[in-house]
Amino acid sequence: CLVSYFTFGAYFDIGLFKYLFFLIIMCFYVVIVCGNVLLIVVICMNRSLHEPMYLFLCSLFVNELYGSTGLFPFLLVQILSDIHTIYAPFCFLQIFCVYTYANIQFINLSIMSYDRYLAICYPLQYNTSMTSTKVAVLIALSWLYPFVGDAVLISLSAPLQLCGNIINKVYCDNYSVVKLACSDTRVNNIYGLIYLCFIVFGPLILILYTYIKILKVCFSGSKQTRQKAVSTCTPHLASLINFFFGSFFEIVQSRFDMSSVPMMLRIFLSLYFLTCQPIFNPLMYGLQMSKIHSLCKSTNKQRES
């Protein structure tokens, strides 16, 4: 039958500790909002930062605000609630937000690797290759493609007849919903596999190709080229590694039996996937990128004065 609501099975009674967890999650959300908004404002308000690299970063930060807002407000309500349920339409809306956030993030990171590849390997042709029109098209595609792809994914999952309504997580997940289905899910599985190939392997191949080329230039280039590559690629590589760790934890938890793992650890791993990037990236780029760092300091001084 078509269920009207889902119950989250990962929550358990923690007594008064729920208020402590509420404060911790609230602090995370405040840090995410403040950090990302600050960097978005700095990039948008300073014309010297209207370069491709910083525009891609701005898109990354906007996506992190979008993804965290799709998770944290509802999570805070659920922590304080005694009945951990969600109406089906809101569940599918959350799935859409979480999935589009993750896919936009990965595509954006792959585009940033392509941008670094052009800047390091073809510095003289960079300005003619990475025009403002091309930047706008790449950013638009990084948002449009996941929105369309995940809308189709949700439209295939929503009409399924389900044999249960318990999701063993603290937020809605499409794979968990499909596992509850009594009806035929072959179309869902085929589309999911095809979409996964395009959304994962395409950007992954681009990232591997660009970094192989960057490494070749670094080994054969001058000391100045190597320093430029290290300074611009270190934050991006750190962000990629962090994203892959979070994705790995999420895939393992979704696809394999984790009943032997303590519930608290499973909850932490599932939330790490959705909190690692929004917290980590503003800190990493704000500290490592010299232009952003200096402008953030000047912005704070202006506010204090």
Question: Cα separations (Å) of 139 from 53, 55, 108, 136?
Answer: 11, 9, 8, 5
- The CA distance from 130 to 119, in Å, is 9
Q: In angstroms, rounded to a whole number, what is the distance separating the alpha carbons of residues 254 and 248? A: 10
Tell the CATH superfamily of the 5-296 domain: Rhodopsin 7-helix transmembrane proteins (1.20.1070.10)
How long a stretch of residues is the chain? Answer: 305
Token digits for 232? 């611009």
What confidence tens digit (pLDDT) does each residue in 173-216 have? 888 888 888 888 889 889 988 988 888 888 999 999 998 888 88
Mean pLDDT, rounded, of the chain = 84
Q: How confident is the model at residue 292 (pLDDT cuts 50, 70, 90)?
A: low
Residue 284: both structure tokens together: 């990493």
The answer to pTM > 0.85 is: yes
The string of DSSP letters for 47-76 reads GGG-SHHHHHHHHHHHHHHHHHHTTHHHHH
**Strand 5-8 relative to strand 85-87, pairing:** antiparallel
> pLDDT tens digits for 273-291?
788 888 888 888 876 665 5
Q: Token pair of 295, please?
A: 């402008």
Q: Is the pLDDT of residue 297 over 60?
A: no
